[in-house]
Amino acid sequence: MPALPDSLSLAETLTRLDARIAGNGGDRDRLLDVPALARRTGLAEDVVRTLLDGGEPVPDRVDDRVRGRVRALHETYAARSGKRAGEVCREVAERLSISPEWARQLLLGRKTPNVSDLTELAEFFGAREGVRFFTDPAPAVLNRELVRLLGGLDDGTDGDGPLVEFATRHGVVTLALRGHRLTPRKQEALAVMLEGLLGVDDEEARR
């Protein structure tokens, strides 16, 4: 598949995704899973839904944007790792060289981190775009995620198949399947195997 241009707008990305989904007879709501996209972008579900429907989100201030996305990443991280809030606060406090109470205020979205702390938080939570993840407008953040998803959809494959559904739920958008035309049954078997492996990792993380 040709490389996607870096300058795609959100509307253009959605148009391409809708065309791909329609061409494959896929389920848009299942592929563009709102809760999964919200977790990966740090955006509220209603904002994601509005943008996917072609609407405009309510204007926000950068400080509010930053606090909300820090809180969202913290909640996702805590749920995925199974760690208690106090444990995460201590980890962040140590990483940022701040008090656990100040870390708690940051993670709850009650205080706005400075640029240095925001950079450390981006690394701690694995935000690929760094500080931009927290500061960019909602359409830009969602668009980056959808461009990755679009780039991971293989020409001629089932855009609503089990591997794509699996990738969407877990944020994996660059599955190495090019040149390996797996049948739907083999795709499903591979997705089940990967789900099992991730489940084992989650259980070990909770111990």
Share of the chain above pLDDT 70, in %: 70
Closest among 153, 145, 168, 148 to 24, alpha carbons compared: 153
User: Does the pLDDT value for residue 54 go beyond 50?
Assistant: yes
Are 12 and 54 a contacting pair, CB within 8 Å?
A: no
| Dist. CA 92–CA 143, nearest whole Å | 29
- Amino acid 108: pLDDT: 96
User: Is residue 162 very low, low, confident or very high in pLDDT (cuts 50, 70, 90)?
Assistant: low
Amino acid at 147: V
Burial class (CB in 10 A: 0-12, 13-18, 19+), 89: buried
Q: What is d(CA 60, CA 73) in angstroms, rounded to the nearest whole number?
A: 18
pTM: 0.69
Q: Which domain range does residue 20 map to?
A: 1-207
The per-residue pLDDT for 154 is 45
| Three-state SS letters, 75-104 | HHHHHHHCCCHHHHHHHHHHHHCCCHHHHH
Distance between CA atoms of 143 and 104, rounded to whole angstroms? 30
Res 93: pLDDT: 97
What DSSP character marks residue 2? P
User: What's the pLDDT score for residue 1?
Assistant: 42
- Whether the predicted pLDDT of 101 surpasses 70: yes
The confidence score (pLDDT) of residue 87 equals 94
| Tally of structural domains, the chain | 1
Between 141 and 184, name the one with better pLDDT. 141
Two structure tokens written together for 1: 């598949």
How far is it, in rounded angstroms, from Cα 108 to Cα 119?
Answer: 17
Predicted confidence band at 166 (pLDDT cuts at 50, 70, 90)?
A: low
